[in-house]
Structures are given as structure tokens and as C-alpha cells.
Amino acid sequence: MALDKVSLRVSGDHDTLKDALRASSVLMDLEGSGDSAPRDILAAAQSDYARLVEALYAQGFYGATVGITLDGVEAARIDPFSPPPRITKARITVDPGPAFRFGRAEIGPLTTPQTPGFRSGALALATEVRSAARSAVEGWRAAGHAKAQLADQQVLARHDQAQLDVVIRVDPGPRLRFGTAEVVSDSAVRAPRIRQIAGLPLGQVYAPDAVDRAAARLRKTGTFQSVTLREADQPNPDGTLDMEIAVTDRKPRRIGGGAELSSLDGLRLSGFWLHRNLLGGAERFRIDAEARQIGSTGQNPDVTLSFRFEKPAVYGPDTLFFAQADLRYQDESDFLNRELALQFGAAREFSPTLTGSLGITLRAARVTDRFTTPDTTRDLLSFGLPSSLTWDRRDDVLNPRQGSFLRAELEPFYEFRAAERGARFVFDARGYQPFGDQTVLAGRFQLGALLGPEAVDARPEHLFYSGGGGTVRGQPYQSLDADHDGLRLGGRGFVGLSGELRQGLTDKLGLVGFADAGFIGADGFGVGDWHSGAGLGLRYDTPVGPIRLDLAGPVGGTTGNGLQIYIGIGQAF
């Protein structure tokens, strides 16, 4: 039978309290919910006594009276094994009484200042008592006392004065150091490697942050589905505390792919194969393949094949070694590039938001220049020292709503056959600012510069172009280049600006308005050309990121005309 009506009456003017009581009541949720068995209604009503009292304590009311009647009978007096055959009306009445304030509010010993809400004369919220106790224990744990705990808690409610006396005593326990770390679960990853990746500072003073960082390092490898670090129940006689590590492996292999479609630039297809534990030490080996400009107007497909090996915790727990090989075939209007690149290096996480990398690269390429008559072919061999620094404070990598992202890349290089030095610099800055729950303003600034070789002598991939989904939507892919004494080639300077206003329409669907602009300079940022584009887009949120549909057209410049369509997964930036 349905519960037709549930009413809540609170004595006095307590709108905020009434909302809290309504939110904590299970009985209120059953109103008009369809068929509800009398036994279920009675169980909800009898359990609501404790829930409502807890909500009252949380608001500082310790002398309240709570009544719950079902069809006029007090719920507490009904035998739960013999419920009535039918219940149609429920009534909750609450007389909160006076709000209590703290009389005595003592806690100690402490390592940190007492929480401001837990003091004599303050409103005696139960949440403040819990917060003060939790902060006291966490303060001692942060100081190395891993077994800190509450030793005693005395609570006295003085109803005649509407005061609550609370005295809490904390037992800090001994100051401990990290002992041994034992892997207590089965894993395809060798136990010494799990300990090495976790990087617990054995012998150093216990710190909860170090435990959290160790768990984060293990999760970041992508090898484990779950990670748990647990302290031993008792410390050792020498003042050390052993740790237990339990992990659950993910499936070792994974494949995936993606597609992005542009009405002018054609289809871009990508796929990968990943092994998460290649040699038994959480090493990752990944093969990526990409083909772009498939079916594009006036462009031949470009193909890239990459092989990358990563080994975590090589030079300390926060440093990763990597080796990568890239094969590229680029068939563009200005050039034909066939290249092999080998790179070795290390990446280090300096903090949860700051990472850096440094590598050594050797590139061999055969480039056919199509801007000469007839075409000429160059064999290039170069050595580079690529480095990068990334500062990432986005709240979500796939669909950021707030935060910022900064990345700087610098690669000094030496071209052996031309005996020429140079450097290439790229900077990418992104920012996100929410306005309410549904609106996000996003911006992006890109900068690129090539120092050293002239454009006609440079590697094609070292030059800059603008246009397409990654720079200026509404303009054809790499349609803006630079004038080098009558030759149209990529530039040695690049500036990109993008702005988006993202507006949520429902929980899944959103609308985006955007504008992009790009600049290419022949020899830097003095003389060059701009072009721009703008449009509207739709986003549909999925677990792997929003599905993106953008419609854009040219606004400024002479490099494109007509409407461009972009379809992909993930935000544009």
C-alpha cells in the first residue's frame, strides 16, 4: 500500500534545521513513492529516530523531543514483527528546544592550534566536536606519531544552562619511523619492484603524506587496478612501523583507438596496443599508429608509427626512464619527409602538479623539397637534447572545468651534415574559469620559435604552420605558412590564440562558442600573417571524455572559405 502523506512539523522558526531534518529522514523519501510494504514503512520510521537525533546534534540541539506517528500511533510502540496491514499517513514532530553552546571545550595535547569552532561560547555543533578530535589525531600522525588515538572523551549536557561540556584527551603514542614494507598480495609484478616504485622512505620518521605518495606512485603506473597501503597493528620494539602493500593487477594488455573527422582535412585514425607489465617490473610498452588527412582535399595521407618503452622508479621513485622510436611519413604540398627518430631520456615528477623531462634524440631523415624546380632531396642527420617542463593544475584532464595548464618545450640540436646549430621552443598555456555549475570560460595561448637554420634548410617538422583543429578551426589544416623571398614555407615563429565559452544544457549535453586566431612569421614575430576562425559546437559527455562536434568558418585571412566540420573525442583543449 502507498504511503500517501508524510508531514514534518518543527517547533519555532528553524528553516535551516527543518531542511536538515528533511534531508536525513528515510521516511520522507517514501512519500508518494508507489507501493510500499507496511513493514518497510515501519522500519524506516523506527530508524528515523536515530537519524533525526543525529541531525539535531549536528545543529547543536541536545534537548530535543522527536515524535513519529504512523496513522496516529507512535512508531516506537509498534511491534516490528506485527506491523499494521496498511499505513497511509506519517507525521514527524520535532521540538528542538534551545540551541546549546559549549561550556568547557578542552582537547589535548595538541600539535596544531585548536579548531576555531570548538571553543567555549561557540554553538555546540556535534560536527565541530568530531572535527576537533579528528584534527588533533591527524596533527599527531603528521608529526610522526602513527598510532595516535583518542584516549578519553567526556561529554556532559547541562540542560538548565543549555551548555555542553566536552573534554577530549589524546594519546599521541610514540614517534615512529618507517620499517619494512611487505607485499602481501599476489601480483605479476615482482615484490621488490613494487616496493621500489612505492618508494616508502624506510628509516625516516613516519609521515601520512609519504604513504599517500607511495600509493599514488603505484596507481600512476597504470599496472594496478587497486592499491592499498596499511600500517602494521603494532610498532616494532626499535621504534619502527612496518607497512603492508596490497595490489590488484589490471589486465596486462590493452588496445584502443580513436577517430576525428574534418570536412576539409579528412579523417584521422589512431590506434594503440599497450602492455602494462612487459618484464615483470611494471614496465610499459606501447605501440601507436596514426594516419591523418585520409580523403582530404588536395592532401595525401600522413602516417606515424611509434614504439615507446617506460620503466618507472629507475633513478628514485619519482623518476621514469623511457626509450622511444618513431617512424614518420609526411606527404605535404611543400615536402615529402621520411624519418626515423630514436630518443632516450628520463621524466621526473617534482610534485603532483609539476613534472619535467630530459632526453637525447638522434634523427635521420630523407626530405624531398617540392618548393624547388625540379624537386631536390636532402639527407639529414641531427642530434638533439629535448627537454620539457609541465605544470598541470586542471581538475580533470579529459574535461577540465577549472585550473590551468602550462607546458614549455626546448630542444637544442645540431645538424651534422650541414654543420649547423639551432633550437626549437614551444610553449602552451591553458586556463579554465567556471561561472556557476554550468558555464566555463576556457582560453589557450600557444607560442613557437625556431632559432638557427633558415626555413629552406630546416627540417620540415621544425617549421610552424597554422590552421586546423589544433590551432585555428574554420581554416584548412596547415593552410597558413610564410613568405621566404617568394617561397611559401612554414614559418620560424608562431602564435596561437583560442577562446571558448562552454555552457551546459543538461547533465550530458553542452553548447560551445569558440574563436581561434593564428600567426605565422617568416623569421620570428615581426613580419607575418594572421588568420582566424570561429564557430559553435556541441559536447556530449561520456566516461572517456566528451564527444565533440564543431562547426567553424573563417573570420579573417585569405587561407580558407566555407564551413568546416570537426568531430572527435575530448575538448579541443
The tens digit of pLDDT for each residue in 256-297 reads 988 878 777 788 899 999 999 999 999 999 999 999 888 877
Q: Residue 268: its pLDDT value, please?
A: 87
Residues 374 and 472 in one domain: yes
Question: Would you say residue 18 has pLDDT above 60?
Answer: yes
| 495-518 mean pLDDT | 96
Confidence of residue 375 (pLDDT cuts 50, 70, 90): confident
Distance CA(39)–CA(47), nearest Å, equals 12
Strands 240-249 and 335-349: unpaired
Per-residue pLDDT, 34: 67
Q: Which residues contact 397 (CB under 8 A, 6 or more apart)?
A: none
Domain check: are 86 and 107 in the same one?
no
Q: Are residues 429 and 454 in the same domain?
A: yes
* 85-89, 331-335, 513-517: which is most confident: 513-517
The 10s digit of each residue's pLDDT in 523-539 is 989 889 999 999 999 99
Strands of the 163-171 sheet, one edge to the other:
101-108, 163-171, 149-158
Closest CA to 166 of 113, 130, 116, 136: 130
With vertex at residue 471, the alpha carbon angle to CA 550 and CA 523, rounded to the nearest 5 degrees, is: 160
CATH number at residue 58: 3.10.20
Of the residues 149, 171, 193, which one is the last residue of a structural domain? 171
pLDDT tier for residue 384 given thresholds of 50, 70 and 90: very high
Give the pLDDT band of residue 139 (cuts 50, 70, 90): very high
Contact 206, 236 (CB under 8 A): no
Per-residue pLDDT tens digits for 287-329: 999 998 888 776 788 999 999 999 999 989 999 999 999 999 9
- Share of residues in the chain with pLDDT > 70 (%): 99
Is the pLDDT at 74 greater than 60? The verdict is yes
Query: Averaged over 415-443, what is the pLDDT?
Result: 95
Same structural domain, 323 and 399: yes
Count of domains in the chain? 4
Question: Which one-letter DSSP state was computed for residue 20?
Answer: H
Do 312 and 435 fall within a single domain? yes
Q: Return left, alpha or beta for 530; rule: phi > 0 is left, psi -120 to 50 is alpha, else beta.
A: beta
Ranges of H-type helices in 179-338? 191-198, 208-220
Supply 565's cell numbers: 566540420
Least Cα distance to 216 among 208, 74, 124, 180 occurs for: 208
- Position 477 confidence tier, pLDDT thresholds 50, 70, 90: confident
- The grid cell for 128 is 565541530
Question: Both 105 and 200 in a single domain?
Answer: no
pLDDT of residue 418: 85
| Judgement on whether residues 424 and 474 belong to the same structural domain of the protein | yes
pTM: 0.80
Task: Summarize the confidence of residues 444-466 as an average pLDDT.
Answer: 94
239, 372: one domain? no
Query: pLDDT confidence of 570, banded at 50, 70, 90?
Result: confident
pLDDT(112) > 90: no
Checking if the pLDDT of 91 tops 90, the result is yes
Q: Could you say which DSSP state residue 123 is in?
A: B
CATH of the domain at 446: 2.40.160.50
Is the predicted pLDDT of residue 174 greater than 70, yes or no? yes
How many Å apart are CA 405 and CA 447, to the nearest integer? 14
Which of 137, 171, 205 is where one domain is finished? 171
Residue 436: pLDDT above 60? yes
- Percent of the chain at pLDDT exceeding 90: 80
Domain range enclosing 15: 5-95
Instruction: Give the CATH number for residue 243.
Output: 3.10.20.310
pLDDT band for position 166 (cuts 50, 70, 90): very high
- Of the residues 130, 151, 171, the one at which a domain ends: 171
Mean pLDDT, rounded, for 95-113: 95
Q: Per-residue pLDDT averaged across 362-384, rounded? A: 91
Q: Nearest Cα to 38, choosing from 7, 70, 77, 67?
A: 70
Split at pLDDT 50, 70, 90, the class of 84 is very high
CB 493 within 8 A of CB 464: yes
Regarding whether 303 and 216 lie in a shared domain, the answer is: no
> Do both 22 and 143 map to the same domain?
no
Indicate if the pLDDT at residue 562 is higher than 90: no
Does 193 lie in the same domain as 134?
no
Q: Are residue 119 and residue 19 in the same domain, yes or no?
A: no
Q: What is the pLDDT of residue 1?
A: 56
Average pLDDT estimate for 469-488: 90
Mean pLDDT computed over every residue of the chain:
93
